[in-house]
Amino acid sequence: MSTTFVKEMRSSGNGTLVRVSVIAAIGGLLFGYDTGVISGALLFIKTDLHASTFQQQAIVAVLLLGAMVGALISGYLADRISRKWTKVISGIIYALAALGCAFSVSAGMLIGFRFILGLSVGTASFVAPLYISEVAPPRVRGGLVSFNQLAITSGILLAYIVDFAFKGFADQWRWMLGVAAIPGAVLAIGMLTVPRTPRWLVMNGDEDRAREVLEELREGDEHADVDGEMREIEEANERERGTRTKDLLSGRLRPLLWIGIALAIAQQFVGVNTVIYYAPTILSDTGLGSSAALAQTVVVGVTNVVFTVVAVLLLDRLGRRALLLTGTAGLLVALLVLGIYFSSATLQSNDGWLALAGLVLFIAAFAIGLGPVFWLMISEIFPVGARSKAMAVCTIINWGANFLVAQTFLSLSNAITREGVFFLYAALAVLSLVFFALRVPETKGRALEEIQEDLA
């Protein structure tokens, strides 16, 4: 399965394409690291800063509010100053805010800096796949855009490892949060070395530079047709010139927007970030101590990375729909396993491994389905004139759904029990599976301009 993607990449140029895609994907690493690190740090923050249950939820969830604002702002900036410079600014803000979090002396101060951190995370979460989709050729676009998801899962795993490594240190949670400044600085510096995307350059009237960038990205690619690709980009730009945010609600674009919004909501309402944020808490509830819970959380993180690699290798071979449907079905099974486990006192007393198995299956299914496919498809289905705006809308809704799930998980667990929460997520997974089967199109191996013309 891996040979197809590897062969295509070997025929796709001189390494420039891979290099710029990897650098852009560091934005996903920021997203993933912060998502994962707070789960372990929270075990110590709540004691050190005397954080109440509400404050613990706020420490997790306020970043998501910041991410919504960041996505809104960057939807404008990505068109105004380019995808490249938007990500440079994002990296700088992330590095500074991470240091602010590390030096916080109260729960309120930490909540404030995590909101600022969220501005960067919200930007990085969608500008990274947007940038990569606009530089990648169709036949490997799925794999390359999914570098972003691989970076997200690698960031989560890195965070789990850092959490485990620093658990015995004095001021352990400060080290956990402060280390994030390093990848933030790497993103800002790395993005200074990459070009602006050909599609953004054409959209801003610089066709000559767009051709130069495209030739650089396709150098050595035996399948490249720079003239044909430039013609498609220019025609799409002319067709979509003057597209405004309100045009997303027009009859032509509305069906595409609904697909993007449905994917955004479903990705969160199956409870994935509840599992990521609260994995140590969930595992410690099985009777494990904090140290053992953090160790087993690393297993969850490794699973996330391994199955994201599988998705990268398969997305351009099997297609988006197959992995989306298979992954969502796997999520449903995992949620039922977790619900049954927490509903049985006998299982909780004698079979703690079942909780870990349910979490591992959940993460594996998400990593090959909703995880990469959401970000990939919203970077593919919208026309160039509305792409950044539409992706911003979908990203804002995604972070809003994330906020709602994260902010209510502990409260819902108290109200309807832990098993009740997992059964609720399972019901939402069923609805998502039905919608995907009926409405989500296949976009594998097709030019962005072709996808947009057909779907619209």
Are 304 and 439 within 8 A, CB to CB? Answer: no
Count of CB atoms within 10 A of residue 269's CB? 19
In order of 123, 137, 178, 440, 446, the CA distances from 255 in angstroms are: 25, 25, 43, 10, 19
Q: Vertex 72, ends 71 and 78: CA angle to 5°?
A: 75
Alpha-carbon distance 151 to 407, whole Å?
25
In order of 35, 40, 54, 141, 142, the CA distances from 105 in angstroms are: 21, 18, 18, 45, 43
Alpha-carbon distance 17 to 24, whole Å?
11
Which alpha helices (H) appear in 271-417, and where do they start and end?
Answer: 272-284, 290-318, 320-343, 345-350, 353-368, 370-378, 387-416
pLDDT given at position 1: 40
DSSP string over 400-454: HHHHHHHHHHHHHHHHH-HHHHHHHHHHHHHHHHHHHHHHPPP-TT--HHHHHHH
Domain containing residue 18: CATH number? 1.20.1250.20
Alpha-carbon distance 23 to 147, whole Å?
10
What six digits make up the tokens of 381? Answer: 């289905």
Domain count within the chain: 1
pLDDT given at position 282: 62
pLDDT given at position 383: 76
pLDDT given at position 325: 96
Alpha-carbon distance 438 to 364, whole Å?
24
| Residues near 145 by beta carbon (within 8 Å), at least 6 away in sequence | 129, 132, 133, 136, 372, 375, 376, 379
Alpha-carbon distance 5 to 139, whole Å?
9
What six digits make up the tokens of 182? Answer: 């390093």
Helices and strands of the chain, counted as H and E runs: 21, 0
> Which residue ranges in the chain fall short of pLDDT 50?
1-2
Which residue carries 């029990």 as its tokens?
A: 417
pLDDT given at position 403: 82
- φ and ψ at 221, to 5 degrees? -85, 115
In order of 95, 201, 208, 238, 384, the CA distances from 234 in angstroms are: 37, 10, 12, 6, 10
pLDDT given at position 424: 94
Conformational region of residue 171, where left means phi above 0, alpha means psi within -120 to 50, and beta covers everything else: left
Alpha-carbon distance 436 to 441, whole Å?
8
pLDDT given at position 364: 93
Provide the CA 110 distance to its chain's centre, in angstroms.
23
Q: Vertex 332, ends 331 and 337: CA angle to 5°?
A: 95
Containing domain of residue 294, as a range? 2-455
Q: Using alpha carbons only, how large is the chain's radius of gyration in Å?
A: 21
Are 135 and 48 within 8 A, CB to CB? Answer: no
